[in-house]
Amino acid sequence: MFNLKRVKNFDPTLYLVTDQMLAKGRPVEFIVEQAAKGGATMVQLREKDCSTLDFVNLAILIKKLLDSYHIPLIINDRLDVALASDADGLHIGQEDMPYTIARKILGKNKIIGLSVENIEQAKVADEFDVDYIGLSPVFVTGTKPELTNSLGLEGVRRIASFSKHCMVAIGGIHAKNAAEVLKAGANGLAVVSAIVSADDPMKATREIRQEIDKFKTAGKSEPG
């Protein structure tokens, strides 16, 4: 379906997005490893409030950790950190580096994902060869309080009706609503607080992963 497999193991089925502020004092590497063990298929490091040096050092640490699980690492916003850690890709928002510049610098062998917050941005994204679009936010969430207009399931359905891209939904996703977001057309689910803030991040990841696998298995057994 999506042939842009620039990176081996590219698989946004269950995509952990980190947030140190939501980790209840636990280190990011702990959350990431628990999620890897629980069935996360991709990880995005999102660190807004640390020095470049700390971000680079963290990214190098997490890259090594995820390599041992054969899970790709994506860096949020900071192309410099992605290059410094030899991460597998970059995730950019609408206020980050323009896609065309990012692709030129990163080259064709790295993953680039782009957040879209509405139909218009999803249409613009269709003109780029991004590897996935992040539909953000599907539901209103405490992680990004500045985004007041959620896409909702209807927004996911509308974008799914035309977008050529692999679509990862993000924002307020957890085990109980995972199936309906996939049913609306998302190809993968990005999860922040339902894993990062969970008392047991591995168990939380496993529960979401089971819902995804259940949905996909059911889909395959349905006629057509």
Task: List, in sequence order, the alpha helices (H) in 44-132.
Answer: 52-67, 79-84, 99-106, 119-125
Q: 26 catalytic, yes or no? A: no
| Window of 7-15, 17-25, 88-96, 126-134 that interacts with its own copies by CB under 8 A | 88-96
Output the CA torsion sign for 195, 14, 91, 10: positive
Task: Give the SS3 label for residue 51.
Answer: coil
Q: How far is the CB of 101 from its own copies (least distance, A)?
A: 5
The type of residue at 53 is L
DSSP class of residue 85 equals T
Q: How far is the CB of 142 from its own copies (least distance, A)?
A: 21
Q: 216 catalytic, yes or no? A: no
| Window of 6-14, 92-100, 155-163, 176-184 that interacts with its own copies by CB under 8 A | 92-100
> What residues numbered 14-73 form the site for its own copies, per CB under 8 A?
51-54, 56
The candidate with the shortest Cα–Cα distance to 106, out of 133, 84, 124, is: 84
Q: Toward its own copies, which CB reaches closer, 28 or 82?
A: 82
The type of residue at 109 is N
8 Å CB contact between 138 and 188 = no
Task: Give the SS3 label for residue 42.
Answer: strand
Q: 144 catalytic, yes or no? A: yes
The candidate with the shortest Cα–Cα distance to 146, out of 115, 101, 168, is: 115
Which one of 78, 85, 115, 197 is the catalytic residue?
Answer: 115
Q: Toward its own copies, which CB reaches closer, 79 or 178?
A: 79
- 133: β partners: 114, 167
Q: How far is the CB of 53 from its own copies (least distance, A)?
A: 5
Which one of 46, 63, 110, 206 is the catalytic residue?
Answer: 46
Q: How far is the CB of 24 from its own copies (least distance, A)?
A: 26
Which one of 63, 78, 144, 209 is the catalytic residue?
Answer: 144
> What residues numbered 99-138 form the site for its own copies, per CB under 8 A?
101-102, 105
What is the distance between the alpha carbons of residues 86 and 134, in angstroms, rounded to a whole number? 22
Q: How far is the CB of 203 from its own copies (least distance, A)?
A: 35
Interface residue list for its own copies (CB under 8 A): 51-54, 56, 77-80, 83-84, 94-98, 101-102, 105
